[in-house]
Structure 1
Amino acid sequence: MKHTRWFYHPLFVFIFSILALVLSLFLSIYWYTKASKNLETIARKFNIDPQQVLKSETWMVILVLSILVGIILIGIFAIFVYSQKTVQLYRLQHNFINSFTHELKTPVTSLKLFLETFLKHDIPRTDQITYIRYMLQDVGRLSDNISRILNLARIESKSYAGAFVDSDMVQLVKDFITENHHLFEGCQIEIHDPDDAPFTYTVNVPLFEMFLINIFTNAIKYNTSRTPRIDIVFERQKQRLAVHFRDNGIGIPKTEIKRIFKKFYQVGRSDDMTAKGSGLGLYLVQNIARLHKGRVIASSDGPGEGAVFTLLLPRRR
């Protein structure tokens, strides 16, 4: 059975269909041309003007056949592309379910173990505090995963709360880091604003904070350094504003850079890089940027060289 499976591959079916259609067109034209020549011979035999026997319509018929076959080919190609995208989306969803199940099951199992330990044993106060901290970390992981799913649903349905207001983005980032410093303990975050001038843009503050939490979490999660570092650089360009988030993490392979913003997509598993999370963080980041009329681009010198995520926003006149 394994030797016959290639007959059912979409690519083989697509190529076979095109070849069959092109061959049909060729045979039809060949048959029509030959039939026209036979009719012309018969017309001359009986002293009939050949122009009256389909001669003038030959190329018109060929042209119409070619156009119809072209339309059919375009339809087949569209169906093929759609089917391939559907298969790819199915695979991404399958990977998401597997990884997200792991992300939920691991902290739940850990919490259950700690609670059973509290129930069965008398534990010294110092050990209790240690275990409680572990439990809070697991609860935080669960909360983050659930929040991402809920936020994704809100953004895709455009039912997010809050208005777009003019804000100094430098100060907004500083306030966010100050208010959430407990989430980034052990991480060094530096803000660089060369002009020391207001970096004003119209933003939805809750959405932009969601953008920042995903960028920071991604930089810390995919990092093997003793001290994760994030450098935030604000740059004023002629036509746009740019905010660069540079980290010292594990980097991104060149072949993966264009795919990392896709829904459910995770960097492929390898010996030195394991897929983590749900595959929704950067998808949320890109969608939030688009809601602000901008986009996010990524760059990296390769595995082990860190990564740079740049938010590009149109500059107002």
Structure 2
Amino acid sequence: MTKLFVREHLLTILFPIVIAGMSCLLFWLDGYGSVNTMLYVFIVTVVLTAVLHFYLYLRKYKYYRRITTPPKAMEDMLEKLYASPEQSAEQHYMKQLYKLYQQEVQSLYSAQKRHLQFMNGWVHQMKTPIAVIELMIQEQDRIDSQSVSEEMERLKRALEAVLMNARLDTFEEDLRIERVHLSDMVKAIVNENKRLFIRNQLYPRVEIDETVEVTTDRKWVQFIITQFITNAVKYSFTPQSSIWITSERTPGRISLTVKDEGIGIPSSDIKRVTRAFFTGENGRKTGESTGMGLYIANEVCERLGHKLEIESEQQVGTSVTIHFIEEQEGES
């Protein structure tokens, strides 16, 4: 600690001594021959400099002891010291830095916990299609290719959800904003999921203006719409019912809605369905929900500047809407 103090204050220690020595030399050259007086001035300067720096050393003793002692915990940096205004400002800065550190650690911990929970749920969910495929293989009769295809689709959708969840952490690096033709994109998604509709005896009704274009990221929005359609099919237990996919243009906004005629969401769950891992009452009925689909959709909408709106009535149906905010002509 002493060496550190001397190295820090070496200039202020030597400067007054050098000034006193030069003053004595000037007096001597000017003809003032009293050696005792000059020696007295020099000694007084040295003593006063020593006393001043000893006082400064005492004031900084706790500070030097803290920075030269290996810390045992991060909280050691929050130790209160009766220090100079400069050190007080430094302590305040360190406290603010510590808060930022805690926030970053908490964010990383939450992300790690979210990934772990999601992977555990996903692995558990994947056991079902894998077990079904294994049973088909073990049967002596001919394998039903349609059934295998259905299970493979479930695996594919689950894998896509895992990839999208992982990409959330590097969202900005995977972003590509462009003008997207809404009608063509929705029709392509419906065509990709046609077997899902046929298998569940549901009818997709697409009513989207052919001229509508939105500014967004095509890949992320495709995932979101696919998630809405998958949920609509999953919770539509009545055969021959319809799933409506419509668009609406209002000043400064283009809205895309996916509406089903399913069991609906209980009012107590509406505000919580976008939380991570929340499956709710309906999720417990099907046993296939990971509670991540709407969470990812909501996160993506917020980061893209879109608005997600969910309306539902039990035994009537659910409508999920993405509002694409569009700048009107003339706005800067």
* TM-score bracket for this pair, using the shorter chain length: 0.5 to 0.7
Shift of 1:270: 9.1
Q: Please name the residue that 1:110 is paired with.
A: 132
For residues 233 and 181 of structure 2, the distance between their equivalents in structure 1, rounded to whole angstroms, comes to: 25
For residues 175 and 249 of structure 1, the distance between their equivalents in structure 2, rounded to whole angstroms, comes to: 23
Q: Please name the residue that 1:310 is paired with.
A: 321
* TM-score for the superposition, normalised by structure 1: 0.60
For residues 219 and 137 of structure 1, the distance between their equivalents in structure 2, rounded to whole angstroms, comes to: 17
Give deviations 1:162-211, integer Å, cap 9, x for gaps. Answer: 62211221232123323443343232111224xx4621211222212111
Residue 277 of structure 2 aligns to which amino acid in structure 1?
A: F
Mapped contact 1:244–1:309 kept (Cα < 8 A):
yes
Q: Please name the residue that 1:188 is paired with.
A: 203
Residue 295 of structure 1 is aligned with which of 294, 307, 311? 307
Question: How has the CA–CA distance of structure 1 residues 102 and 228 changed in structure 2, closer, same or farther, with 3 Å as cutoff?
Answer: farther
Q: Please name the residue that 2:291 is paired with.
A: 279
Mapped contact 1:231–1:247 kept (Cα < 8 A):
yes
Alignment length (residue pairs):
219
For residues 95 and 152 of structure 1, the distance between their equivalents in structure 2, rounded to whole angstroms, comes to: 12
For residues 155 and 280 of structure 2, the distance between their equivalents in structure 1, rounded to whole angstroms, comes to: 22
Shift of 1:299: 0.8
Which structure has the larger Rg? 2
* TM-score for the superposition, normalised by structure 2: 0.58
For residues 157 and 151 of structure 1, the distance between their equivalents in structure 2, rounded to whole angstroms, comes to: 10
Shift of 1:218: 0.5
SS in 2 for 1:263: coil
For residues 265 and 93 of structure 1, the distance between their equivalents in structure 2, rounded to whole angstroms, comes to: 14
Shift of 1:305: 1.4
List gaps (5 residues or longer) in structure 1.
1-82
Residue 181 of structure 2 is aligned with which of 163, 168, 184? 168
For residues 188 and 255 of structure 2, the distance between their equivalents in structure 1, rounded to whole angstroms, comes to: 19
Question: How has the CA–CA distance of structure 1 residues 109 and 286 changed in structure 2, closer, same or farther, with 3 Å as cutoff?
Answer: same
Mapped contact 2:215–2:326 kept (Cα < 8 A):
no
Residue 138 of structure 1 is aligned with which of 151, 167, 183? 151
For residues 282 and 259 of structure 2, the distance between their equivalents in structure 1, rounded to whole angstroms, comes to: 23
For residues 238 and 308 of structure 1, the distance between their equivalents in structure 2, rounded to whole angstroms, comes to: 21
Residue 148 of structure 2 aligns to which amino acid in structure 1?
A: M
Mapped contact 2:255–2:323 kept (Cα < 8 A):
yes
List gaps (5 residues or longer) in structure 2.
1-105
Shift of 1:233: 2.1
Aligned-residue identity in percent: 22
User: Larger RCO: Structure 1 or Structure 2 (Cα < 8 Å, ≥ 6 residues apart)?
Assistant: 1
> Structure 2 matches for 1:85-234, cutoff 5 A?
99-117=121-139, 121=140, 123=141, 127-128=142-143, 130=144, 132-158=145-171, 161=174, 163-185=176-198, 186-193=201-208, 196=209, 198-234=211-247
Mapped contact 1:189–1:232 kept (Cα < 8 A):
yes
For residues 169 and 241 of structure 2, the distance between their equivalents in structure 1, rounded to whole angstroms, comes to: 31
Give deviations 1:79-129, integer Å, cap 9, x for gaps. Answer: xxxx9xx99x97x98986675344111122222222222xxx3x3xxx43x
